[in-house]
Structure 1
Amino acid sequence: MPNARQNTTTAADRRNWATLLVLPALIPAVFVVVGGVGAAALQSLGLMPLAGPVRLSVDAYTGQSGDLIRALGLSLALAVASTVIAAVVGVGTALLIVGGRRCGRIVALTSAATVTVPHLVGAAAVGLLLADSGVLARVFGVPAELWPSLVGGPWWVAVVAEYAWKESAFIGLVVAGTLLTRVARFDEAAAMLGAGRWNRFRFVMLPLALPALAISSTIAFVYTLGSYEVAWLLGRTYPEPLAVMALRLFNSVTLTARPEAAAAGVLTALVSFLIVGLCFWALRRTAVWR
């Protein structure tokens, strides 16, 4: 009993010490996030106007409810499509990196270099690659009028491609780090017991890498949901995602559009918080997390 009590106390001390180490970085982040979202919420409700009297109102939400719903649906569709593709490609990238061969090292270096590329530069590169007068159209000799509308088209192909390319490198590196540290010995034990590659991937590697995959995919999803530069450069003018709508309304010459811009930002933040909460709720119910 004394040993068990001592071990419990030691584990609690470790958690308390870890919490103290995180606080210097956590407090400023919470202050900025809560302060920013709170100020945007007050502005969207008419309680912190730039012009006019202070008056509680939901006109910023109801006045453009149709556009808000359309923008939210488009933002979620773009985030889901790009995150799913990035997660699948990222897992494959991680498996190549973990393989340890020359190809894996090249993939690791390429992924690390891809992560450092700003999204605005990546969007410009994807636009030059997929446009009707871009590199691919010229390589394949397809006239501009016959080339599909990948940039600024109805299916937002270029936007999804850019986000999936960039975020797959990030997810691949995170998952590869987990596989190299936690899963290697279990994979070797399963191989010694006669498990094939598919069974080792399905029953050993994927379950143990699931927390890292879920967290990195959630980060990619939230970033895609709140990012505006790629959709603004490669997407259509209408309909527009929430982030692009918020930026357009914020830069409007009409100051009365600021509450509507704040409403779009608040809606984006609420959806992001919801997705993050669902991710951690699901992870805490898994055996690997416990």
Structure 2
Amino acid sequence: MTWVPVAGRAGTARERVRGALFVLPAVALAVFVLGGGVGATVLQAFGLLPVVGRPRVGIEAFTARPGEIAAAIAVSVSVAAVSTVIAVVVGTTAAVVIVSHRRSSRIVAALSALTVTIPHLIAAATIGLLLSDAGVLPRLLGIPSESWAPWVGGPLWGAAIAELAWKESAFLALIVTGTLATRIRTYDETAALLGAGRARRFRHVLLPLTAPTILIGAAISFVYALGSYEVLWLLGRTSPEPLPVLAVRLFQGVSLDSRPEAAAVALVTCVIALAVVACTFAALRRSAAWR
């Protein structure tokens, strides 16, 4: 049993132009700010905007640290992917609980709303105090520090993944809840009247209709985790460094020659993020619910 939503009315040309004019100021400002920053990064990475000396086109900034950049890409993509998957599973489950109107739904909704308002820096410090070998959790459990798993600064980046998954799951729970609270609830009730159980309704009604929202939320979470500096710097290892930490360290280096290398690392991060966004929109165009 598969349910497909009724297609909405396509807007007229006048309505589309009017809508475009409404968002044009915000889009122009975003393009100016982001375009200027990314453009300056591109010029500096390719040697056209040097801090000192004459401009000279080249890719030396990308080839100066191939090993460090490759390791940084692997760490950043892995942490972002794992935390995003966990956030999607937890956030979607929380959204289903919130719209179920049970006694626990209000508690889950309040916790999600409260979590979203906490800044990532404070959340990272909280996770560090909770999961470190001398933190609150091992003391409450009575586990000595030498027997506690290396969550903070460990090889598996456990604390960083936990913080990102915790924060982004709350974000995903709220946006998926907004989708489930619309006409999708009517489809769910109709399927229940036709005899579909909870598992079938989730698989054939809720999940397909919320897939665009989940996909967009996952892309936002992945891109944020990919470029998050404070969380990975506070809770991660010193080596290998993720992309944002490596870029900041090179930018703040004593030698001005490292500025183009920092720009190259930042540009690599931007390319990965744009590739993820492009893949997300390509997947959305193939989605029946999106159409």
Task: Give the TM interval when normalised to the shorter protein.
Answer: over 0.9
Give the C-alpha shift of residue 103 in structure 1: 1.1
The answer to whether the aligner puts 1:226 opposite 2:227 as a matched pair is yes
TM-score, normalised with respect to structure 2: 0.95
Give the C-alpha shift of residue 227 in structure 1: 0.8
Instruction: Compute the RMSD of aligned alpha carbons.
Output: 1.1
The answer to whether the aligner puts 1:208 opposite 2:214 as a matched pair is no
Q: How many angstroms apart in 2 are the aligned matches of 1:140 and 1:289?
A: 47
Task: Give the AA of the match of 2:256.
Answer: L
Give the C-alpha shift of residue 18 in structure 1: 1.5
Identity %: 54
Give the C-alpha shift of residue 115 in structure 1: 0.5
Partner of 1:87: 88
The answer to whether the aligner puts 1:151 opposite 2:165 as a matched pair is no
Partner of 1:47: 48
**What secondary structure, in the 3-state scheme, does the structure 1 residue paired with 2:182 have?**
helix
Deviations 1:44-63 (A, max 9, x none): 11100111121111111011
Q: How many angstroms apart in 1 are the aligned matches of 2:178 and 2:72?
A: 36
Partner of 1:114: 115
The count of corresponding residues between Structure 1 and Structure 2 is: 283
Task: Give the AA of the match of 1:262.
Answer: A
**What secondary structure, in the 3-state scheme, does the structure 2 residue paired with 1:57 have?**
coil
Deviates more, 1:221-230 or 1:25-34: 25-34
Partner of 1:63: 64
Unmatched 5+ stretches in structure 1: 1-6
Q: How many angstroms apart in 2 are the aligned matches of 1:41 and 1:71?
A: 19
Deviations 1:113-150 (A, max 9, x none): 10111111000000011000111110111111111111
Q: How many angstroms apart in 2 are the aligned matches of 1:262 and 1:225?
A: 16
Deviations 1:81-137 (A, max 9, x none): 000000000001101111122311111111111011111100000001100011111
Partner of 1:188: 189
**What secondary structure, in the 3-state scheme, does the structure 2 residue paired with 1:89 have?**
helix
Partner of 1:135: 136
Task: Give the AA of the match of 1:197.
Answer: R
**What secondary structure, in the 3-state scheme, does the structure 1 residue paired with 2:152 have?**
coil
Q: How many angstroms apart in 2 are the aligned matches of 1:97 and 1:67?
A: 44
Task: Give the AA of the match of 2:260.
Answer: P
Partner of 1:167: 168
Q: How many angstroms apart in 1 are the aligned matches of 2:12 and 2:160?
A: 46
Task: Give the AA of the match of 1:99.
Answer: S
Unmatched 5+ stretches in structure 2: 1-8
Alignment of 1:235-246 (within 5 A): 235-246=236-247
Q: How many angstroms apart in 2 are the aligned matches of 1:284 and 1:14?
A: 22
Q: How many angstroms apart in 2 are the aligned matches of 1:182 and 1:134?
A: 46
**What secondary structure, in the 3-state scheme, does the structure 2 residue paired with 1:289 have?**
coil
TM-score, normalised with respect to structure 1: 0.96
